[in-house]
């Protein structure tokens, strides 16, 4: 029988609700920090041996049902010559952001097999190290979220630069999205060919858009992206703050749609449609709470999902730095115990 995680992605029955956590490899884990001391973040992403090591670290420590490749959604922006760097404590920066429509036409064509070969090498190493214990999820940023970094030059509160660009220069925006779709499709296909058994597309910041702007400026490009992905590999379509976009995101594509905690799982799933799976949706902040509170939140989540096939338990966004490891372990154990015993 294939893994509970892959079965849930296909909406097949599972003996328990599978769970993994976004950012399960990261700074809250002492063994990650120990490896990270020897490399800058970009060096770590590019060193396939070390990246494979930190991918596997949380599997035994937490008992999760899937591994997620250690990499970053912004890596494909580096061969686009935007000057990617990760400054300590500041998050990512692009030295040469896209501010004028002419810059889109000048973007270089990327040979993904060459420029991102180190990621494919990591995928192969992780598969060998996991030896079938749990499946490996590959991932990429969605074109909107990538474009937001490319235009803002980093993170943003308002996404005003990105919104102005798509409203003022709709043709250059479409051109930029098409280029990002090309790179992302090749990148995700390459990961699947190297051995990734599921794929997640992170549209982390798309919830900042009004629903009609999503439909006109993003949805057609997402449809193209989904149409270029390999068949037979489940795809998770993730965003945050997407309560106004769920129907459109489901329309764009994905076997499983990610939900954050700003909507109840039950309501989100109803709006997406029960012909899709859902992933989520606990608030990462609950991991700081006492264990009985964490267990109660898990119980309520499972009750909301009603053990319908197609629920992948997760947070609604990534584990925060400083999260107690024991709280994370408590969450994973609670999902397994409470979904097996039928006590919900
Ligand atoms: O465990 C995993 O989830 C796999 C690895 C992973 C990382 N980034 C490692 C990382 C994944 C899946 C990502 C995706 C990613 N990266 C997203 C989408 C998910 C989300 O959070 O919405 C985004 C928006 C990025 C961009 C990014 N990378 C930011 C904004 C930051 C800085 C903020 C922060 O948390 O520090 C990063 C750096 C980053 N990516 C770290 C890790 C473990 C921390 C870097 C460090 O070790 O110093």
Q: Is the separation of the CB atoms in 70 and 58 below 8 Å?
A: no
Q: Structure tokens of 81?
A: 């010559």
Query: Whole-model pTM above 0.85?
Result: yes
pLDDT band at 60 (very low <50, low <70, confident <90, very high): confident
- Residue 110's pLDDT is 97
Specify whether 149 is catalytic.
yes
- Residue 192's pLDDT is 98
Specify whether 36 is catalytic.
yes
Q: Is the pLDDT score of 344 beyond 90? A: no
Domains and CATH numbers, the chain: 4-283+309-316 (3.20.20.210)
**What's the gap in Å between 79 CA and the centre of ligand 1?**
19
CA-nearest residue for atom 2, ligand 1, is: 23
- Residue 55's pLDDT is 98
Section 96-114 average pLDDT = 98
- Residue 4's pLDDT is 98
Residue in 7, 11, 23, 125 annotated catalytic: 23
Specify whether 27 is catalytic.
yes
- Residue 342's pLDDT is 53
**What is the per-residue pLDDT across 284-317, written as a single tens digit (0 to 9) for each?**
999 999 999 999 999 999 999 999 999 999 999 9
3-state DSSP assignment of residue 279: strand
DSSP states of 55-107 as a string?
A: HHHHHHHH--S-EE-S--TTGGGTTTTS-EEEETTTEEEESS---SHHHHHTP
Section 146-163 average pLDDT = 98
- Residue 33's pLDDT is 97
- Residue 88's pLDDT is 80
């Amino acid at each position: 029988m294939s893994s509970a995680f892959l079965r849930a992605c296909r909406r097949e029955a599972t003996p328990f609700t599978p769970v993994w956590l976004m950012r399960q490899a990261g700074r809250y884990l002492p063994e990650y920090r120990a490896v990270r001391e020897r490399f800058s973040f970009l060096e770590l992403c590019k060193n396939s041996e070390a990246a494979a090591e930190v991918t596997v670290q949380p599997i035994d420590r937490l008992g999760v049902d899937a591994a997620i490749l250690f990499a970053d959604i912004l890596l494909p922006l580096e061969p686009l010559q935007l000057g990617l760097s990760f400054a300590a404590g500041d998050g990512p920066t692009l030295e040469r952001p896209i501010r004028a429509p002419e810059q889109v036409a000048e973007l270089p064509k990327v040979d993904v097999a060459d420029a991102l070969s180190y990621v494919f090498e990591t995928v192969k190493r992780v598969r060998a190290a996991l030896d079938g214990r749990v499946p490996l999820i590959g991932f990429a940023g969605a074109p909107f979220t990538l474009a937001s970094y490319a235009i803002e030059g980093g993170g943003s509160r308002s996404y005003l630069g990105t919104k102005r660009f798509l409203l003022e220069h709709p043709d250059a925006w479409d051109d930029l999205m098409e280029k990002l779709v090309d790179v992302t499709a090749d990148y995700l296909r390459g990961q699947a060919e190297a051995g990734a058994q599921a794929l997640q597309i992170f549209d982390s910041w798309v919830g900042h858009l009004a629903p009609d702007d999503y439909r006109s400026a993003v949805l057609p490009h997402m449809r193209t992206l989904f149409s270029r992905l390999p068949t037979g590999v489940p795809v998770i379509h993730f965003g945050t703050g997407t309560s106004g976009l769920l129907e459109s995101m489901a329309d764009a594509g994905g076997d499983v749609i990610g939900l954050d905690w700003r909507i109840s799982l039950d309501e989100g799933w109803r709006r997406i449609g029960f012909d899709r799976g859902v992933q989520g949706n606990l608030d990462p902040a609950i991991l700081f709470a006492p264990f009985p509170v964490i267990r109660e939140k898990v119980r309520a989540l499972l009750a909301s999902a009603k053990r319908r096939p197609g629920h992948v338990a997760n947070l609604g966004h990534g584990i925060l730095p400083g999260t107690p490891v024991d709280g994370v372990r408590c969450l994973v154990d609670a999902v397994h115990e409470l979904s097996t015993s039928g006590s919900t």
